[in-house]
Amino acid sequence: MTITMYLVITLLLITISAYLLSEDALSIFDCCSKNTDTSDGLQNNLLYNKTFNIANFSSCPDYARNSPFNALSEAHVKEAVSRKVQLRWKRFVSSVSPYPENKFSGRGIVSSTSSGLNGCRRLLASLQLLRWLNCTLPVEVYAYANELEMHEIRNLKAIQNVTLHIIKDKVILKNRKKSRFVIKPFSILQSSFEHVLWMDSDNIAVNNPEYLFDLPHYKNSTAIFWPDFWKTSGRNPIWRMMNIRCREEDYEQESGQLVINKRLAWKALNLALYLNSDNDIIKLIHGDKDTFRLAWRSINVSYFFIRTHLAIGGFDLAVAEKSGATSNERTFCGHTMVQHDPLGKVLFLHTNLVKQYPPIQGLIEKNQTIKQNKINPWRVYIGYTNTIPNMDAVVFFYNLYVCTTFTNRGNSTWSPLVEQDFYNLVPVSITEKYLSYLHGNLIKSNKFRKIRIIDRHWQKN
């Protein structure tokens, strides 16, 4: 090869590389990926998703009030890196094979688990409660090899219509080292169902959730997603990487529960799996939860987003040895995300903070009515009286407990907060049944200082 020919080839390669990083090249990928998952007749009048020019990625504030994940938004990412990340995921989307006909069918619940109280035991209790609620949906549970004890495997298989899958896929096992959350989109993709209800192992359905698949909110879309407490800052580089706008009204997604039509959202679901294995992506967001809405929005696939603000379930705590406590001596500690269905009815209790607690050791008030002397941690429901543009959640520590609560900061323009007896919304028989399936207290007693759960005696107020 002559020197002249070598220089010509080198110049040609440089020109091609420059083009691939240009806006023209990005528009080609936009053309290939847009509307790939929705039928011609599917109109998203529930939540409108649109791809925007990268230069106009943000229309929301540059803060994320009280979010414990604010530091993720402060990462500095060069524009060239954002463009490379965007090119990678768009190339991936264009490479996804069409939805495989005759491979998936029907409706079902999918979950994953690991060993122990915070994994398999909670999932077992949740599945047993579903059967008690007359939910007949088949269930598929995914776990990594060598993570479950033999008795846990037997107990899972003993529940009617539950199938256990042990993950042996080499690519997923490799990506697991990057992100432990990759198991969620992988399990949904691999499950035999076309219509999937995903539930985390620490999530509790308080009603039979089968009806979700028949609601127009799902049938006129491709998925139902639920809100988190927080909003991602407009400064987060993730918006540029995904080429979508940060919108004032959008809360982050809470993925303890998902309802997905795999046929209509096939490429979006595959993209969610991809995002969980991209190092540049996962370091800007917390876990898997937002990879779903980001994947759906980035390729313009419709979904219904629950607009009823999630509420908080918890109890009043007091550190004391004496009986009784005044309102000034107690502290509300929220530990459960209370999620609603599209009609505004309480449906899921995502107990994501309970598993981080130290054990509770008596004393329970003498007037406590919980059966079998169990420490039932659901006593108080707190939430806003209606849906407003903003909610203000706070995370704090109380004697080794991680707690959440809401505040309106005295702002008269915000919807007032309401506190209710938890059992006005969720029958005590349901939470007691769940606890009975756990064979004891949700939080075990041990050698920690005594924490008392204080009842408010709502009937006397």
Q: What domains, with CATH codes, occur in the chain?
A: 107-305 (3.90.550.10), 311-460 (no CATH)
Beta bridge partners of 253: 227
Percent of the chain with pLDDT over 70: 67
Q: Which amino acid is at 411?
A: N
Instruction: Supply the pLDDT for residue 24.
Output: 36
Q: At residue 140, does pLDDT exceed 90?
A: yes
Instruction: Supply the pLDDT for residue 445.
Output: 45
Instruction: Supply the pLDDT for residue 53.
Output: 36
Distance set, CA 331 to CA 196, 315, 326, 453, 456 (Å): 39, 8, 10, 10, 12
Q: Of 78-87, 229-238, 292-301, 425-434, where does mean pLDDT reach its minimum?
A: 229-238
pLDDT-derived band of residue 14, with 50, 70 and 90 as boundaries? very low
The helix/strand/coil state of 16 is helix
pLDDT-derived band of residue 402, with 50, 70 and 90 as boundaries? confident
Segment holding 404, helix H or strand E: strand 401-406
Instruction: Supply the pLDDT for residue 99.
Output: 97
Instruction: Supply the pLDDT for residue 69.
Output: 64
Percent of the chain with pLDDT over 90: 41
68-86 pLDDT, tens per residue?
666 666 667 788 888 999 9
Q: At residue 18, does pLDDT exceed 70?
A: no
Average pLDDT, stretch 19-38?
A: 35
256-267 pLDDT, tens per residue?
999 999 999 999
For residues 432 and 248, what is the distance between their CA atoms, to the nearest angstrom?
A: 40
Instruction: Supply the pLDDT for residue 232.
Output: 85
Average pLDDT, stretch 156-179?
A: 81
pLDDT-derived band of residue 388, with 50, 70 and 90 as boundaries? low
- Spell out a b/e string for 366-377, using b for 16 or more CB atoms within 10 Å of the CB, else e: eeeebeeebbbb
Across the chain, what does the average pLDDT equal?
78
* DSSP H helical ranges for 40-193: 79-95, 122-132, 150-158, 170-175, 183-190
- Of 31-40, 56-65, 188-197, the range with the highest mean pLDDT is 188-197
CB neighbours (10 Å) of residue 66? 16
Q: At residue 17, does pLDDT exceed 90?
A: no
